[in-house]
Structure 1
Amino acid sequence: MSATDIPAATDFIAQGRRVLEIESAAIQGLYQSLDDSFRNACQTILRCQGRVVVTGMGKSGHIGGKIAATLASTGTPAFFVHPGEASHGDLGMITAQDLVIAISNSGETHEVVSILPVIKRLGVPLIAMTGKPESTLATLADVHLNVAVAEEACPLGLAPTASTTATLVMGDALAVALLHSRGFTADDFALSHPGGSLGKRLLLRVSDIMHTGDRIPKVSAEAIITEALLEISRKGLGMTTIVDQDDKLLGIFTDGDLRRILDQRIDIHQTRISETMTRHCTTTSPETLAAEALKVMEQKKINGLIAVNKEQQVVGVFNMHDLLRAGVL
């Protein structure tokens, strides 16, 4: 269909809103109907000593894949098995210690129903998600989660829309309820997402990104302001630390401080840095999470931060550019 063939009378916004209304109603219906079956499903999964195996055909399979991925990333080991492939060898992936979540809106999907005898023979707990409580899958399951909807958003009533949304939401509800029960933490989440920005935000510590050794800009309290400016330029971090003979932090001097003293017409060739530096500056520990350090910098409206040890010696510095390069910002 070309652009000129699009019916002028089509109200795309109205159609979009209709879909959102129907799918919102489906979720609300799910909320109202949630019962002891949900609690039983959570308890059954928590008792599982193996992995959760999710299976489903067609659109239910796509939803099942997402549910398996969500479970796996939130502390419940899980993977997806295609029911068609399961009948041709992939059932060998399922062990007696596992648990199966089978998804079928009708509860009669041939590829799913055909593998039920093997699942039952293994003695594997079976949780079913269907829209038909009287279906074969629902009646054979140890726990049935009803994901029935009043209507599909598809005006033909054919394409799975509201029903797949309800199933997806039920999967999310399971994953989050289990997450809470397991005491799953942000650090646990990061361990399964080390390659993404979430992992970086949760796993990186200040010690991973800070400049150390000779890369730390620092001058003594006796230094003249011009000497401090040369150190700022050499190290390229927009600041310098001021330390005593034991490297203990005395203060900080930044590009912003330079603008301030120039407005005050202070002689930068004669004045010592100790007279203009900022004392009692904000610091952090090398062990602090980089994400926490970023939060402090945003709250304080500062561009750089100094890392000190227990003796208040300067061990590192970093700025917003370092956080950006590390993928934390």
Structure 2
Amino acid sequence: MGLPSDQGEVGSVFRVEDVIRPLTSDVRGGSALIGFASDEGVRRNFGRVGAAQGPAAIRRMLERLPVHHPVEIFEAGDVACTDGDLSSAQERLADAVATLLDRDMRPVVLGGGHEVAYGSFLGLAKHLSDRLATTRILVINLDAHLDLRLAPVPNSGTPFRQIAEFCSAHGTAFNYLCFGISELSNTTALFDRARQLGVEYRLDEEMRQSESPDLRAGLAQRLIAADKVYLSIDLDVLPAAVAPGVSAPAARGVALEIIEDLIDDVISSGKLALADIAELNPVLDRDDQTARVAARLAYRLLLGHGRRGIVR
């Protein structure tokens, strides 16, 4: 129990590694950690590969974090893309996510490239099944990129365009909200496509601390109108000084405290169905800095609380 540095300490020294349990067939409720070990989408998108090692790196940092309240966290293992068949890997992730949701669990998916997003959303859709068309799903992406690309094959830049097409084919609304979009990291074609699809977004330059009350008020209105929320966090939404270990580090980015506030607001709504964290590339990281940030965000999502205490 605890780390070697806890030896001789008096009182509780429980850490995530002490409370996380293997997922068994009888488990219902709680949070579940699942990895998507893939950088096939990044490779296809001509990015810098290495994100397949992301889930393991986040877990190493996460297991060291102290636990201050009773929690139920379960380990659901990894879905890996090792043969270049991205679509098959996304389907396997979708099946795993759907199974967790069917058991009243909240999946937190650790990527991997942002191609994880399509698998995550497919999992929610499979879980909802014939309720999909009548469920108001809000897709929230914290990201420097819109990820609405057209491309010969699916990749890490196409997942939300694929989700839009899936929604259209299945008669459900595509409600997509993006925070942190960089005007210099998206082409005019992508902004045009966002307008055509009715995407609402806020640029990184608009996400200053002074603008935080308006940002959060706008988010609150969108959350009220939603039944379920799927939250995707691309670590390249953060400044490069905070998250250097990504394929495309941000020249500007959005401050971590603003990102955490938005995450806390989503959790507090009680409507978060699942979340994922994408684009950690340990090969490019410095002193595990980005992995530590990713673990901090995963901790928030798994334990269901931030600085405002436990969310009931």
Q: Could you tell me the TM-score, scaled by structure 1's length?
A: 0.29
Structure 1 or 2: larger helix share? 1
Which structure ranks higher in relative contact order (CA pairs < 8 Å, sequence separation ≥ 6)?
2
Please identify the structure whose Cα radius of gyration is greater. 1
Q: Could you tell me the TM-score, scaled by structure 2's length?
A: 0.30
